[in-house]
Amino acid sequence: MQLEFIKGYGILLGYFAVCASGALVLRRLVSVPTEVFRKTLHIILLGSIFVWTYAFKTWWVSAIAATVFIAMVYPILVFAERIPDYSELLTERKPGEIKSSLVVVFSMFTVLICVCWGWLGEKYLVIASVLAWGLGDAAAALVGKCFGHHYIEGKLVEGRKTLEGTLAMFAVSFVSVLVILLVHGSVEWYGYVPIAAVTAAVCAIVELYTKGGMDTLTCPFAAAAIMIPLVHLWGG
């Protein structure tokens, strides 16, 4: 157990060190739009789900590592906030955003690891749930800001969101889930498209009506809640 933890955690730290430093160096050398850089950090975070699920052989060791990672990095971020231009460098929309996101995201990872991998023994559902939210959300933000012209407003919608962004989230979530299901080969041939389509639709709707930036929790949990019964219905 100790050897597995040390090896997996070392790979995890190496992954974040290489990706984060690369992103920061790139931003120093090239003029990267703020929203693009935000989503670059977002994608780096998403990519770590493959480390959590494949660098560790045991689900509970992975879950423990996620908790340890929060405990290790949170104080570092608290200290880093004292550095001038920290918030601007990491494109925070409000003070403390990065450290709060750290806790929310890796807590979400931990829950999915425990439920999908630990309880159900289906590691791929952890990846599919995270990517359904994460890649779709990134697409929604970028497409909505660049090409959004048809706005969705209402009491249940926070601010103004765009139809183009919502459709982009559906499309990218659909492809993400479909690819993971196909690679895993977990269901009957006729189940792939319906499962991916329903999951993507639910994620897009949940993201549209989630407030306070809590789609980080609501979307992946909704994706898992939809996929778990469907993959079992069609042969998972």
Per residue in 22-44, pLDDT (tens digit) is: 888 887 787 777 777 888 888 99
Given 90, 105, 121, the domain boundary residue is 121
Q: Is residue 74 located within the same domain as residue 190?
A: no
Using the 3D structure, point to which of 80, 101, 121 is the last residue of a domain.
121
Gap between the Cα atoms of 81 and 70, Å rounded: 16
16 with 129, same domain?
Answer: no
Whether 65 and 158 share a structural domain: no
Percentage of the residues of the chain whose pLDDT score is greater than 90: 59
Asked if 206 contacts 169 with a C-beta cutoff of 8 angstroms, the reply is: no
139 and 112 both lie in a single domain: no
- The SS3 of residue 162 is strand
The tokens describing 12, both together, are 């995890």
Q: Could you tell me the residue range of the domain that residue 25 belongs to?
A: 1-121
The pLDDT value given to residue 146:
82
**Residue 82 above 90 pLDDT?**
no
> Each residue of 167-197: b (16+ CB within 10 Å) or e?
bbbbbbbbbbbbebbeebebbeeebbeebbe
- The closest of 163, 167, 154 to 203, measured between CA atoms, is 167
Q: With 80 as the cut, is the pLDDT of residue 164 above it?
A: yes
Q: How many CA atoms lie within 13 A of 24 on its CB side?
A: 10
Same domain, 43 and 82: yes
User: Is residue 204 within 8 Å of residue 157, measured between CB atoms?
Assistant: no
21 and 109 assigned to the same domain:
yes
- What lies within 8 Å, CB to CB, of 95 at 6+ separation is 81, 87
Boundary of a domain, candidates 121, 147, 162:
121
Instruction: Please give the tally of structural domains in the chain.
Output: 2
- State whether 4 and 103 are in the same domain: yes
User: Is the pLDDT at 163 greater than 80, yes or no?
Assistant: yes
pTM of the predicted model, to two decimals? 0.92
The reply to whether 113 and 218 lie within a common domain is no
pLDDT at position 236 over 60: no
Picking from 143, 166, 136, 141, the residue whose alpha carbon sits closest to that of residue 153 is 166
71 with 139, same domain: the answer is no
Name the 3-class secondary structure at 85.
coil
Q: Specify the range with the lowest mean pLDDT, choosing from 175-179, 209-213, 214-218.
A: 209-213
What local confidence, expressed as pLDDT, does residue 153 receive?
77
Average pLDDT, stretch 193-200? 96
Could you tell me if 178 and 213 lie in one domain?
Answer: yes
Q: Are residues 111 and 139 in the same domain?
A: no
pLDDT band at 152 (very low <50, low <70, confident <90, very high): confident
Q: Based on the domain organization, do 144 and 231 belong to the same domain?
A: yes
